[in-house]
Structure formats: structure tokens, C-alpha cells
Structure 1
Amino acid sequence: MIKILIADDHAIVRNGLNNVLKDEPDMQVIGEACDGEETVRQALKLKPDVLLLDILMPQGGGLTALANIIDKLPTAKVLILTISDREDDLFKALRYGAHGYLLKEAGINEVVDAVRRIAAGEVILSSQMVANLVSEFRQKSHNGEELNLSSREMEVLRYVGEGCTNSEISAKLFISESTVRTYLRRLLEKLHLRNRSEAVAYATRHHVSFNHNP
């Protein structure tokens, strides 16, 4: 019997999932939660086999709840069920320890199948999210968008991604601000970015930091 905890801030969603899953002979809904903090409490108390978790919830949100749960229950299996098709949310969910990511437009049979497969140790991703990632990868390849940066340009990109100003980067790298601007201009050209804001977004999306390799 797969024990399931449903976490979503909309009662109609929780009730709908409960009604569907309770009819499955190998599944049992053991609890519900309506916000991030309650999700953590319920997960630690009930220790479900699979946690169905929405991202967009009050009191901390689903991703914060996910990180807290995995920190205390490293073997927990979590299936994200959300309306968010943002790649950043997908990457964060997987990095925080989720075993699956489905959009709420998924069919009931797809959700039920995902619960079983995640309980068995598989990793499940929404077909639409996979299609989006493949499309983006092909577009980047077509455009020749590669990280062809010098070591110094990479350092500047990492500091930009962490929110540092030109002055702060100058002090950290012991170079002048004009030199920082030169490196920034070069990396923007190489990555086909228009401005600093796009460089910050790029660094965030591709996890370019001093803690993550690009």
C-alpha cells in the first residue's frame, strides 16, 4: 500500500486527488496540507511513501517545504504537481530532491502512474517540460550558444549572477572597474545577451556560481 500525503492550498484540488487516489487498490491517502509549514509538519509526522506537493502555496511555499523535508527525511519521495512550467522551478525542485515534476494539466491516469513509479524509485518529468527543455537545447545549439568564456570572464559572470556590482567585482578580482566593464561586455557578446539583467538571469538559470559548475 502506497501511503500518500497531498499538499495543495486549494481544497478542490486536494479533494479531487483524494477522491481519485482512494479508489486505487494499492494507494492510501493518509493526510493533507494546505501550506508550506503544515506540509513539513505533516510529512515529518506521517512519513508518507509519496508526497504530492504544489509549489505555489502560502507559508513558505512548496520548494522551501521540499528542501526542509528532504533535509530531515532524505529518503522521502516527492512528486511536484503544479501549474508552474518555469524551468527555474523544475531545476530547483530536482536540485532540492524531488523525484518527479508534473503539470496540473496532466491527466488523472498520468498522475496515478507517476505516483506508482515514484514509489518504486523512478524519476518522472512532465512530457511538456521535457519538450520545452529539448526545444531550448536545440535552439541554443542552433544559435551556437556555448559557454566559450575565458576564466576571467567566467569569474565576472559568476559574480554578476551573485548580484555583485562592478565596484564589488573590481575589489574581489583586484582589477579596475573599466576592466570589469570590458569583461562584462565581452561575455554579453559571447552569450548573445543584451544587458546585465539578462546576464543575471542567465547565470541563475544555468546555475553559474562559485558553488555550481555551469
Structure 2
Amino acid sequence: MGIPYRVVIGDDHEHARKAMRMIIESDPAFKIIGEATNGQEAIQLTERFSPDFILMDINMPILNGLQATRIIKERFPHVKIVIVTVSDDAADLFEALKKGAQGYLLKNLNPQVWLEYLHSLITDEVPMPREIAHRILNEFNQISGSAKNNTLTPREQEILALVAKGWSNKEIATHLIISEHTVKNHLKNIMQKLHLSNRVQLTRYAYEQGWV
């Protein structure tokens, strides 16, 4: 096994940090290197340790998780940030994505789902959770699709729409009767054309363009 991925936990509630610590420590692929009780501490720990992941609560004192996410992503764009909250409000997800977060986890999800989600983030193949995708669909449908980007081929637009619906590479490949390798190549080309770097950003783009 390789070097474990280094994780910082940011939450102002001790019991919440303890719960996240138990989940993360159960998987040898991850190692907790610091805990923050507010957004400012999360920034300081990032400056000091340069973690691979940050699990960031939204509602924290001094600087909230969204403010801290924006600052960290500006200074350390390589750090992956996953917003962790009890809220499944679509507005919170939108704000997290706009600030640069790579993912979004609800605190009441099964611990195994957490770990599978984080492992998927490592390879940048994590699909948007379907329950969240469904919640944001109506709100994104209010956004005009008039500014569609014509640089994508019809097949690329089709794959991008499926990504935005929360489909995995395997599900897309089965649905379109192509190989997973072909799906990955399409996604690579899409991200290069749109100057985007992960599936979360692709999901947001697809909804904004009205392709879903």
C-alpha cells in the first residue's frame, strides 16, 4: 500500500469531529493530520501541512466553511475539499461548488458511503450523488441555457448530461454500449475543451447550459 492520503477535519463540534475521525481512521488509505474548530484554523492547518483532503463543515465560527473553502482553493488549488454538513439544501451545495469544493457529504450518510465517496474522489471519478442531483435539478432549470457551448460534439454533450445526473462511468458505458475506457477518454476531452478539472465542475456546467 502507498502513502496514506492526509486529511484535515474542520468542524466546531467535538462529537462531529470524533465521528468523522472514527470513519477516516477505519480506512488505512487515509491519515488525519489535523483538526480545526473554525475556518481560520482550517486555513492555518492547510498552510502548515498541505493536506490532500479537507472535510469541511459549513457552519463554523470566525470563518465559516464556505469562506475558508474559497480562500484555501485560491491559495492551494490542489487540495481537495469536501463539504460535510447536516443540510441537504441545494443552495448550500451551489455555494460550496462556487467556492471550489470537490464534493459534498451529508453527516447522516452510512460510513461506508463516505469512504467509497472519498476513494472515488482520489481518482476524480466520483459521480454527483443522485439524491443531490435530483434536488438541484429544478433550481438549475431556472438558469437560461441560451449560452450553450458548441465546441462539444453531440456524444460529448450526451455523456456530460449523464454525468450531471449522477451516473458512474460504468453505467454510462453500459447505457451507450461503449467501453469504460471510451467514456473516460470522452470525459478527458470534455474537461480539456471546457477548461474544467473534475466531475463536480462538469455537473455544474451541464446544468448551467441546460443540457439536463
CA–CA separation in structure 2 for the residues paired with 1:39 and 1:126: 26
Partner Cα separation in structure 1 for residue 69 and residue 85 of structure 2: 13
- 1:53 is aligned to 56
5+ long unaligned stretches in structure 1: 150-211
- Corresponding residue number in structure 2 for 1:108: 111
Task: Calculate the aligned-residue CA RMSD, in Å.
Answer: 2.8
1:129, CA displacement in angstroms?
1.4
Question: Is it true that 1:82 corresponds to 2:91 in the alignment?
Answer: no
Partner of 2:70, secondary structure, is: helix
**CA–CA separation in structure 2 for the residues paired with 1:115 and 1:148:** 32
Question: Take 2:101 and 2:41, find their aligned partners in 1: how far apart are those partners?
Answer: 18
Match of 1:30 in 2: 33
Higher relative contact order, chain-length normalized (CA < 8 Å, sep 6+)? 2
Please give the per-residue CA displacement for 1:110-149, whole angstroms capped at 9, x wherever unaligned.
1111111212223453432112123x269x6xxxx67599
**CA spacing shift, 1:37–1:128, aligned 2, 3 Å:** same
CA gap of 1:93–1:9, structure 2 versus 1, over 3 A, is same
Whether the 8 Å contact between 1:35 and 1:61 is mirrored in structure 2 is yes
Instruction: Kindly provide the amino acid, as one letter, of the partner of residue 7 in structure 1.
Output: G
Percentage of pairs with the same residue: 29
Q: 1:147 to 1:126 in 2, by over 3 A?
A: closer
Instruction: Name structure 2 gaps, 5 residues minimum.
Output: 147-207
- What TM-score do you get using the length of structure 2 for normalisation? 0.62
Larger radius of gyration: 1
User: Does 2:75 correspond to 1:72?
Assistant: yes
List, as ranges, runs of 4+ consecutive aligned residues in structure 1 with deviation greater than 4 Å: 145-149
Aligned residues: 147
**What CA distance in whole angstroms lies between the structure 1 residues aligned with 2:68 and 2:127?**
20
Paired with 1:65 and 1:93, the residues of 2 have a C-alpha distance of 10
Q: Which of 11, 21, 43 in structure 2 is aligned with 1:18?
A: 21
Q: TM-score, normalised by structure 1?
A: 0.61
Aligned match of 1:97: 100
Q: Which residue is equivalent to 1:9?
A: 12
Q: 1:133 to 1:45 in 2, by over 3 A?
A: same
